[in-house]
Chains A and B, each alone.
Chain A
């Protein structure tokens, strides 16, 4: 046994000048081959619109798996696959507040084979706030809404403020701390707009995500929270009575919170769109027939009651919102945010 095993160990201890030389040549050779291959130019895949889709479609989600954009998109994907008779490869490319994934999307060929599911914040904020991220707010051609979550102002159930009027009256006379889910989140921009246009002593403190923000509110660290009414964190706690919704930042009362007054109805005008929404999009130069195909599939899938229920009541739009409407909202949001993102 010993002999056999000892024999199996290759003897590498004697390195002569000759083998060193050969190693050097090998090294140079392999490296040179790689350099040659790497430095060659790029080939292009040409798009064909007639038989779309004839190969798997990449769907980029610029946020981590498990976030609300990701989860709700994944509910829709199997239906779209069926509608298009194609495989959709979902890729989470998070980083840079959506900049990484959206940048990859915008730079891909406009052939309908690289789609994106992004939220308005991820689509609009990085190009305005950072610039040079490889895309602009108008790099997206929406083909349908997936979900919506209005921005809502909530306080803890034991808060001294029971209505929006009382809250804003309080904020006019004393410093109130409001938790937001992130500095460049839609609520974050909305509250910047609120404090810069109104004479209110509101101090916005960014937390990380809705769960963390609600926790800070329930722990008494902040006086109020200003965040999106998502189906995972905020809506259930409003329904259970742990927190009380005082106002929403959308123009019309939100379907999920019909009795909550809007900031507009309270007299706060000129605020940017306080609505977190996320949608499926392709590149602006995508051939018309492909856009039509995609939008058709989205309409069928988003009108499906089961999928709406999976995404969540009040989150999934009760009626399909087509790409052109989404695009309008996106443009409105971009214009509104630009003013307050400096």
Chain B
């Protein structure tokens, strides 16, 4: 473990840029901490934190100069690895001939450095890796975008009001999947970062930074901060036996109850860092006869999503919510070996009417207990 001073973060961003990375990280825009390109540490949300509750997100000032003193915002890294809209193919007819040319390049792909990746987000990237890369078919868009990513994780020094990564064993400390992992310490008189490397490239980058070996005291301070974050989660989710409960809870009245509130607006699935569903649309150009195939994020909350011959299979909102929750916390495990939830809390915060997945899961558990006691 090494220690970097506050100025070491400027050196880190510079080093990443010099290595050819496009550096992405947290920045304040439109009253939220979003991810965007970082030019310097001045772009970071210095001294800003977020207050989150079901259906509510507000920024406030911390009263210090912390660079990473918030939890997670509306964006996730999925935006870059599995983009909301991407052209898969462009087919252009050859002039005067019968042939055509096909272009399946992805002009949006870059070599990115993600700065400020939270432990839950690392877990989410791990889940999407399994979805897109480990199956019989590898997704070429995800594969090309994912391969070169340099991850600077930042351990969470605080938990948000809708966080429950501790329940999902996904945080607040990043354990794997990073090149470098930082823990920020803002004391009365010192502002520094504990740095851990997690890959040969991470070690190389760290070696060029003005760091020094961490003292036992510094390590202990960082550990204490992460322990306190783990014990101050705004939410919790009991996973024990939940897949079975969801499996036999098909007829639970809770689905109808949540459907009276659910807007089927898709926000939960769009902000979810693991939701991966997409649809393809073909478009053609009247002028040059070219055709394009685009892929865009889809959601199990639309009727089109379950459209089979003759109509949608899930016409009721209750069936769509049930599909989402049952997949996320139940059948995902059979399919990909883990739940599709990392406890980031985005679906709770960014639901326009504040529907809380942990509350729904607890209610389903409760009605199951009443039924099968």
A and B assemble together: no
- A-side residues, CB < 8 A to B, are none
- B-side residues, CB < 8 A to A, are none
